[in-house]
Structure 1
Amino acid sequence: MSTAGRLGLGWPAVDGVPGRTRTAALVAVAAMLLSTLQVLYFFIDVVGLPSRFLAVVAASLVAATVLARLLPPRSAVALGGVLLLVGLWWYVQQLSGSPRIGELLTDTLSLLTGNTLLRITNIRAWVLGVTPAPTFLTWYFAMRRRYALSVAAAGGTLGFLVLTGDADLLTTLSGVVAAVAALGFGDFDRRGEPIVDAETILVTAALMVVVPSLVSVVPATAGLSLNVDGTGSDTVEASLLQSGDQLSVQGSISLSPEVRFTVTSSEPRYWRIGSFDRYTGDGWVSQTNSRAYGGDRLDEPPGPTRIVEQRFRAETDAGVMPAAWKPIQSRGNPATRVGGDGGLATGAPIREGDSYRVTSAVPAATPAQLNDTTRAYPARVNETYTQLPASTPDRVGERTERLTRDARTPYETALTIENWLENNREYSLDVRRPDGNVADAFLFEMSAGYCTYYATTMATMLRTQDIPARMAVGYTSGERVAEDRWVVRGQNAHAWVEVYFEEYGWVRFDPTPASDRESARDRNVESARERDRPSVDTNESGGPEWSPTPTATPQPLTPVDNDTDAGGTPLGPQSRPGVNPEDSISTATRVGESPTDTVGATTDRPGPTSSLPSRREAALGLLAIVGTVIGVRRSDLGRRVYRGVWLYYQPRSTPERDAERAFQRLVYHLGREHDRPRRAEETVRAYLDAVDADERAREVASIRERARYAGTVDEAAADRAVSLVDEIVRSRGTAK
C-alpha cells in the first residue's frame, strides 16, 4: 500500500465512484471552518487589513495539506499549540504599555460572559495571532480523516465565539449543521460506504434547520424561533441605553412614554449616557472600560467652558446615570463610576426616588472659534475615531466628498453633513433594517429613519473625510415643567454625533430633524394619556409646557449652547452663527433639492431596502429543502399524500376516462380496506368476489367494463360511477 493509503489520505473508489463520500466530508468540514472564519473576518473587516487575514488563512490551509502527509497527529497537535502560543505572544507584544498577566486573564474571562471581542483595542493583532492554530488543526485532521478531531478544533473556536456573543444564531446553526454533516459523512468515508447511503445525514441536518424555525408556532415557546435579521429591542430607549457595550441598529421600533427622571438644571441639555467608538457596519461597539469614582474633581474639557449644576431624581429604577457633558463632579450616588470616555455610569441600579447631583463643565466654544481649528488631531484620537470597516462602500466617501467639497474646515464639513441629512431624509420609526452597511443603506437606499440611522450615517461620513467622530447616546432635555425643571421620559432616548476639534475636544452635532422627532414624541405621549397608561406623568407634567415670560432682555452675543438658544430652543444648521451653511453646500445639494452628481449623472436615489436572503440563509434554506425532499421520499410520505388526494378527489374529463379512474380508485380503496390488493392475473369479478364487495362496487365495475370494451358509456353513467366510488370511500367500508 502507498504512503498516502497508509495515512488515510487517498481518495478510494466507492461503488465505482472515486471519493464522493470523502469529498462530502471535506466540504462539510470546510463549511464548519468557514462559519468560524467568517466571524474572525468580520473583526478584521471592521478594523482593516482583510487581505493579510486571508493570506494567514491560506498559508495555514496549505501547511495543513502538506504536513498531513508528513507529520503524525501528536506532532501536529504540538505544532498547533506552538502556533497558538506564538500568536498570543505576538498579540501581547503589539499592545501599548506592559499589560499584566492578571489583567489579560481577567479580560479573557470577561469575554466568556458575553463581552464582544470587538472591545479589544488591538483586535486586529488578536485575530491574526489566533487564527492560524485552529485553521491548521481543523484542516490537518480533515485531511487525515480524523473528522471528530477536525470538528473539535473548529467547534472549540466557534464555541468560544458563541460565549463572547460574536457568533450569532445563524452562524452557530450553520456551524453545528456542518459539524453533524462532517461527522456523518466522515463515518461513512472511514467505513467505505457509498454516499447514497448517507441520505440520513442530510435529513438530520434539514431537521436541525427546520425545527428551530417552527418552534414559534408552539405557544409555550413563542419568540424563541430562529431570528435572522438581528432585530430585538422594541423601543428606541432599549436599543440605545440597554445595549451595554455593543449597539446593533434595529429596524422598526417604538417609543416608551414612561417617565424616567426629573431633572433640575440651570439650562436644558442633552443628558448624556455614553458613547460608542468602533463602527462595525451594522452597529457600534464601545472599547472603553469604566473605573470607580472616588469623588475627586474630574478633568474639564479643553477650551472655554461654563458650569452647569444638575440634580437628577429617578422616577423608576434605572441602570444608567445621565449627565450633561462634560461631568466634572458627582455627589449622592456611592456606586458612581467614570466611563472611559469621561461620562458617568453606575455600578448598581439607581432606585426609584433616589437622587444624585452632577456638576458639568459644558463646552462653550463659539462657532467662529470652532471654524478656526485645523486637522491636527492626537494620534490616539485619529486612529480610534476615524476607523471604518474595510467593506464600507467607496460611494459613501465619494458622496461625502461631493457634498462637502466647498467646506474649508472640519467645522464647515460637519455642518454641511448635518444640514444635508436633516433636510434630505425623513424621520420615521417604521423602517426595515437594511442588510449590510447601515450608513451606506441610509445614504443610497432609504428615504427615512430615526436617530440611530442619522447619527450612524453622519459619523461615518465624517470618518470618510478623516474627521474624528463618535456616536453618543442619552436623553434629550425632556418636557419643561418649570423654569429650571424637566421631565425626561423613555421616548426622550436619543442618539447624536460628537465631533472632535483641536483645542476644544468633543462637540455635539445632531442631524436628526428636531421638529419631526418632537412631533412623534408628543403624539406618543398624548396617545398614552388617552389610554390611561401609568407612569406617563408626574404631578408637574401633563399641562401646557412651561415657557419663559417674554422680556425685553436682549439675547447674548454668544449662545449658551452650540445647538440651543438662550431659552433652550434648538437652533437649526442655517441659524447658527459663524458659517453660512448655504456657502458650504454645493449648488447641486442645497436644501430642498435632490442630491445629484455634478458631472451630470444622477446619484442613487433612496428606495426600498433589499429583502433578499443572505448567502447563509439561502444555503440553509436549500439544505432544508433538499433534506426534506429526501426525507419525504425515503419515508414514502410523498406517495402516501399523493394517493390520499387522488383517492378523495377526482377531476373530471371524458366519460371513458372518468369511469376508468373511478374503477382504479375503487380497487385501491378495497385493497387498503381489506388488506388484499388485486393480483395481476386476477379478473375483476374474481377480485370482487374475494373481498365480498357490495352491489355498488359491482355496478362501478360494470360501468367500467362497458366503457373499456364496448365504448358505450355516456356521461350519466360516468357520473354514476364517480358518485358511487365517492360514497364508498367516504363511508370507509363496503356494506354488503
Structure 2
Amino acid sequence: MSANRTDGGGEGSGGRFTEFLQPPLLAVAVLTLSYLSVLAHVTDVVGGTGSLVLVAAVAAGLATVLGRFLRVRSAVALTTVLLVGGLTAYFFSVPESNRALFTVGRVLSDTVALLTGLSVLRLTKAGAWALAITPGPVFLSWYLAVRREYGWSVLVGGGTLCFFVLTGDAGSGTTLVGVLAAAAAIGFETLSVRGGWAAQLDTLAVVLAAMVVLSATLSVVPGGAAQPLLENRGAVTVESSLVSSNDEVNILGSIRLSPQVRFSVQSNTPEYWQTAVYDRYTGGGWVRSGEDQQLSGRLESPPGSSRTVVQTVEARTRMSALPAAWKPVDVDGINENVVRVTQQGSFLTTDSLRENESYRVRSEVPQYTSEQLRRSGDDYPATVNDSYLQLPESTSDRVRQRAAEVAGNETNAYDKAVAIEQYLEAEKEYSLTVQKPEGDIADAFLFEMDAGYCTYYATTMVVMLRSQGVPARFVSGYTTGEQVGDDRYVVRGLDSHAWVQVYFPEVGWVTFDPTPSGPRQTAESARLTEARQSQEAGVDTEETDPESQTTTPTPTPSPTTGNETNETANGTQTVNPNALGQEGGTNSNPAVTPPPGLEGVTGTTGETEDDGLPSLPSRETLGVGLALMVGLAAGARRTGVTGRASRFVWMVHQGARQDPVADTERAFRRLEYLLEREYRPRRPRETPRAYLRALSKVGADERIQTVGAVYEKAHYGTGVSAEEADRAVALVDELVREELPVLRRL
C-alpha cells in the first residue's frame, strides 16, 4: 500500500485537473464504473437508474472534497453511517408484511445465499437495495483514490465487484474489465513510484493478462453463481434444469428436445403441470423475486370460483421440482419440512425426489367464462401492480408502440391478451434453431427475428401486455404429456414448455399460450420418433411402448378456454373438459420446446441443434484470447525472446535489395554479428581489415576476407557495382547457412 502523499491546497486549478488524469486514478474510476454497471442493470430492470447515477455522483463528489482534509478513520466512520443509513431506508421500503422476515438468522442466511449465487434481482425492492448499497463503497473507494491510497482503494472497489461476481450478477465481461482496472491501478502506482512505468509496461501487461485469464478460467469459490452452496438458490445445470425450479431463467439460442420420461401423473383432468413462475423481466431473461417460505398449512384458493383437481405425481427420474396444476393449495406424501412456497404461489422442494417416489397435490383450478374475464375490470391489488407491471427502463418505445397497435383499441384485459396471443401466433414462425439476439429479447423477437420457440413467444407476450397496463407473468413447466389410460399421463422432457398467465380481478391468474401448437407438436413428434428409432434409453415406459400399447390422443388444456365453464339450458355452469383443445395435432405428446432452464437438453448431454456451420467464439472468449496473446507477447519481450528472435530473422535474411552500397554494408553487419557469436566482437579502434585478418589466423573461413574487401571499397572507397554487392551478400548467406545450427543453440 502506498504512503499518504496528499499535498496541500496551493495548486492551481490546472494542476488539480491534471491529478485526475493520472493512470492509477483513471484505473480506479474504471473499477468503480464496473461494479456500478451491475447496480445500473438492477435499477434498469426495476426502475431508478437516474436516482442511482445521482447517488453515485454525490458520493464521489463528497469523497473528492473530503479527500484532502478528512482523516481516514473519520472517512471509514462516515462510510459506516452511509451503509447503515442506506440499509435502514431499504428496510422501511420493504412491505410491512415482509419485515417480519428480517430476523438475525434470516439475514445471515440470505447473506450467505448472496455470496453463493443468489442474484440481487431476487431481492424484494431490489432497486431500493441498490440505491442503499451504492454510497458506501463509492465514497470510500474514491476517497482513498483521491488520497493516492490506491492499494486500499482497489481493495474496497475490488471487494465490491467480487461480491457481485459471487451473486452471479456481474457478467464475465464486467468482471474482466474490473480485474484489468484493479491490476492497472496497482501496477501504475508501483511503476510511477519507481519513476519509469513506461519502461516497465511489458511487466504490467504480463500481470494483467495473467489476471484476466485466471479470472475467466478459475472458480472463485466452491459453488459460485453456477452452483450455490445453499439449496434452492438457482443451481443451473443441464439435466437438473428439467426437474428443478430455478431462481433465474436466461433465454437460450438453438435447442434440442429431450425425449426421456420425467414423471407420470394421475389426474382427473388434463392440465399444464406448472413448476415455476417468474415476475421480474431483465431484458435477457426472467428472475423469480421474493423469499421462499416453508409450507405451513393449506394455501389460499383463487379469489373466484374454482374446481378441485387432485394429482398424484410419480418421479421417473431424480426431481427437485413439484409439478402441479395451477393453483396448488396442498401437498402430501412428502415431508412438509422440505416443501417451500414461492412468493408467486408455486411449490418446490429443498430435497430431491428419487426415482419412483411420489406425492399427491391438490389444486384449485380457476373457473371462468370469457364474458366474465371481459367484465373483470382493472382494479388490481397493489401487490399485483407492483410485481407484474414491471418492465426495464430500457424497454424500447417501438415495443410499446407495437403493443398499442395490436391491442390498444381493445377495451379490456382479456381482449388485449387474446389480440396479442393471436398476433404472435400468426406473425412468427416456430423454430428450435435460432440465434440468441443481443439486447432485449422481446424487442429482438418483434422486430429482428422471424422465428423462435416458446420462451420467445411467452416473453414477448408478457412484455407487450405489461406495456398496455395488463399484469402478466412468465410461467414454465410441462404440458399434459402422453395419455396412457383413464386420467393417467406420462410426461417427457420434450413436454417442457413456457407460457403466460394474466391476472383478472375476482378470478386470479389465467393461462394463455401464444406459441403455435401445430409446429410444436410436429417438432416434438419428430424428436420422439427419432429417439425410438435410435433406441435411446428412457424414452418409453411399459405404458407408452408403441409396440405393446395403443394410446389415445391426449386432450391438452386450451390456454384461454380450457378452464372455462359453459352455460347450460337451465342457467347452471358446468365444466367442459373438452373445450380443451387438442393443440392442433393427434400426437399423444402435446409438448414442445423446452422452456428456460428446461430447454436445450437431450438426455444429459445438452446438445444443441447443429446447422453445419462453425460457431464463432463469444466476445468474452475473444477478449480472453486477446489478453493471453498480449501477455505472451509482453512476456516474450520482457525475457528477451522477441529480441533474440528478431535478431535471428535479421541474421538469416538479407531483406529487399536497395542500392549496392547499402546492400554491402548490411551484409558486412550480418557477417560481423556471425563472427561475434562464433569468435569475438570487434574491439574499439580495431579496423574491419585488422579484425578479419585476426580471425583468419584462428580458423575463420577465408571468404570473410572477400566480403571485407568489398565492404572497404563500398564504405571507404568509390563504391561498388551491383554484381559486387550481390557477391558479398551471397557469400554471407553461405556462411550463415553453414553456421545455422550454432545460431540455433545460441
- Please, what TM-score do these two structures have when normalized by structure 2? 0.78
2:300 is the counterpart of 1:290: no
SS in 1 for 2:723: coil
Q: Does the Cα contact within 8 Å between 1:205 and 1:623 map onto a contact in 2? A: no
Q: 1:256 to 1:707 in 2, by over 3 A?
A: farther
Q: 2: CA distance between counterparts of 1:676 and 1:326?
A: 91
SS in 1 for 2:351: coil
Cα offset for 1:302? 2.7
- The 10-residue stretch of structure 1 (347-356 or 512-521) with the greater mean CA deviation from structure 2: 512-521
2:118 is the counterpart of 1:115: yes
2:417 is the counterpart of 1:418: no
Question: In the alignment, what sits opposite 1:65?
Answer: 64
SS in 2 for 1:159: helix
Q: Does the Cα contact within 8 Å between 1:239 and 1:247 map onto a contact in 2? A: no
SS in 2 for 1:391: coil
Q: 1: CA distance between counterparts of 2:698 and 2:482?
A: 86
2:648 is the counterpart of 1:640: no
2:361 is the counterpart of 1:358: yes
Cα offset for 1:520? 2.3
Cα offset for 1:397? 0.8
Cα offset for 1:723? 7.2
Q: 1: CA distance between counterparts of 2:703 and 2:43?
A: 77
Cα offset for 1:443? 1.8
Q: Does the Cα contact within 8 Å between 2:161 and 2:175 map onto a contact in 1? A: yes
Q: 1:342 to 1:25 in 2, by over 3 A?
A: same
Question: For residues 16-36 of structure 1, what are the alpha-carbon distances to aligned partners after superposition, in whole Å with 9 as ceiling and x for unaligned?
Answer: 999679711111111111122
Q: 1: CA distance between counterparts of 2:299 and 2:544?
A: 34
Amino acid of the residue matched to residue 448 of structure 1?
A
Cα offset for 1:488? 1.4
Question: In the alignment, what sits opposite 2:47?
Answer: 48
Q: 2: CA distance between counterparts of 1:533 and 1:651?
A: 63
Decide which of 680, 690, 696 is 1:689's aligned counterpart: 696
Question: In the alignment, what sits opposite 1:341?
Answer: 344
Question: In the alignment, what sits opposite 2:280?
Answer: 278
Decide which of 187, 195, 210 is 1:193's aligned counterpart: 195
Q: Does the Cα contact within 8 Å between 2:668 and 2:708 map onto a contact in 1? A: yes
Question: In the alignment, what sits opposite 1:501?
Answer: 504
Cα offset for 1:715? 12
Q: 1:539 to 1:622 in 2, by over 3 A?
A: closer
Q: Does the Cα contact within 8 Å between 1:177 and 1:205 map onto a contact in 2? A: no
- The 10-residue stretch of structure 1 (420-429 or 668-677) with the greater mean CA deviation from structure 2: 668-677
Q: 1: CA distance between counterparts of 2:493 and 2:116?
A: 28
Question: In the alignment, what sits opposite 2:599?
Answer: none
Q: 1:82 to 1:336 in 2, by over 3 A?
A: closer
Q: Does the Cα contact within 8 Å between 1:472 and 1:495 map onto a contact in 2? A: yes
Amino acid of the residue matched to residue 693 of structure 2?
A
After superposition, residues 250-329 of structure 1 pair within 5 angstroms as: 250-294=252-296, 296-329=297-330
Amino acid of the residue matched to residue 641 of structure 1?
A
2:578 is the counterpart of 1:566: yes
Q: Does the Cα contact within 8 Å between 1:266 and 1:484 map onto a contact in 2? A: yes
Question: For residues 632-660 of structure 1, what are the alpha-carbon distances to aligned partners after superposition, in whole Å with 9 as ceiling and x for unaligned?
Answer: 55444434333444455667769969888
Q: 1: CA distance between counterparts of 2:207 and 2:627?
A: 8
Question: For residues 355-386 of structure 1, what are the alpha-carbon distances to aligned partners after superposition, in whole Å with 9 as ceiling and x for unaligned?
Answer: 12222222232223222332221111011100
Decide which of 453, 457, 462 is 2:456's aligned counterpart: 453
- The 10-residue stretch of structure 1 (633-642 or 348-357) with the greater mean CA deviation from structure 2: 633-642
Q: 1:6 to 1:445 in 2, by over 3 A?
A: closer
Question: In the alignment, what sits opposite 2:30?
Answer: 31
Q: 1:646 to 1:421 in 2, by over 3 A?
A: farther
Question: For residues 436-479 of structure 1, what are the alpha-carbon distances to aligned partners after superposition, in whole Å with 9 as ceiling and x for unaligned?
Answer: 22222222222232222221111111111111111111112223
Question: In the alignment, what sits opposite 1:488?
Answer: 491
Cα offset for 1:134? 1.4
Q: 1: CA distance between counterparts of 2:19 and 2:617?
A: 32
Question: In the alignment, what sits opposite 2:247?
Answer: 245
After superposition, residues 107-256 of structure 1 pair within 5 angstroms as: 107-189=110-192, 191=193, 193-200=195-202, 202-208=204-210, 211-212=213-214, 242=244, 244-256=246-258
Q: 1:716 to 1:174 in 2, by over 3 A?
A: closer
Q: 1:687 to 1:617 in 2, by over 3 A?
A: farther
Q: Does the Cα contact within 8 Å between 1:177 and 1:208 map onto a contact in 2? A: no
Return 5+ residue gaps in structure 2 as ranges: 219-225, 227-234, 566-575, 585-614
Cα offset for 1:728? 1.8
- The 10-residue stretch of structure 1 (166-175 or 459-468) with the greater mean CA deviation from structure 2: 166-175
Cα offset for 1:489? 1.5
Identity %: 41
Q: 1:619 to 1:265 in 2, by over 3 A?
A: closer
Q: Does the Cα contact within 8 Å between 2:67 and 2:147 map onto a contact in 1? A: yes
Return 5+ residue gaps in structure 1 as ranges: 217-223, 225-231, 573-609
Q: 2: CA distance between counterparts of 1:129 and 1:733?
A: 66
Question: In the alignment, what sits opposite 2:396?
Answer: 393
Q: 2: CA distance between counterparts of 1:638 and 1:9?
A: 47
Q: 2: CA distance between counterparts of 1:728 and 1:286?
A: 73
Q: 1:694 to 1:336 in 2, by over 3 A?
A: same
Q: 1:136 to 1:731 in 2, by over 3 A?
A: closer
Q: 1: CA distance between counterparts of 2:216 and 2:113?
A: 34
Decide which of 376, 385, 396 is 1:382's aligned counterpart: 385
- The 10-residue stretch of structure 1 (191-200 or 309-318) with the greater mean CA deviation from structure 2: 191-200
Aligned residues: 669
Cα offset for 1:203? 1.3
Question: For residues 424-447 of structure 1, what are the alpha-carbon distances to aligned partners after superposition, in whole Å with 9 as ceiling and x for unaligned?
Answer: 223333333322222222222222
SS in 1 for 2:177: helix
Question: For residues 51-94 of structure 1, what are the alpha-carbon distances to aligned partners after superposition, in whole Å with 9 as ceiling and x for unaligned?
Answer: 11111111111111111123111111111111111111222122
Cα offset for 1:293? 3.1
Amino acid of the residue matched to residue 445 of structure 1?
E
Q: 2: CA distance between counterparts of 1:714 and 1:62?
A: 73
Decide which of 443, 454, 459 is 1:440's aligned counterpart: 443
Q: 2: CA distance between counterparts of 1:695 and 1:538?
A: 90
2:539 is the counterpart of 1:536: yes
- The 10-residue stretch of structure 1 (268-277 or 563-572) with the greater mean CA deviation from structure 2: 563-572
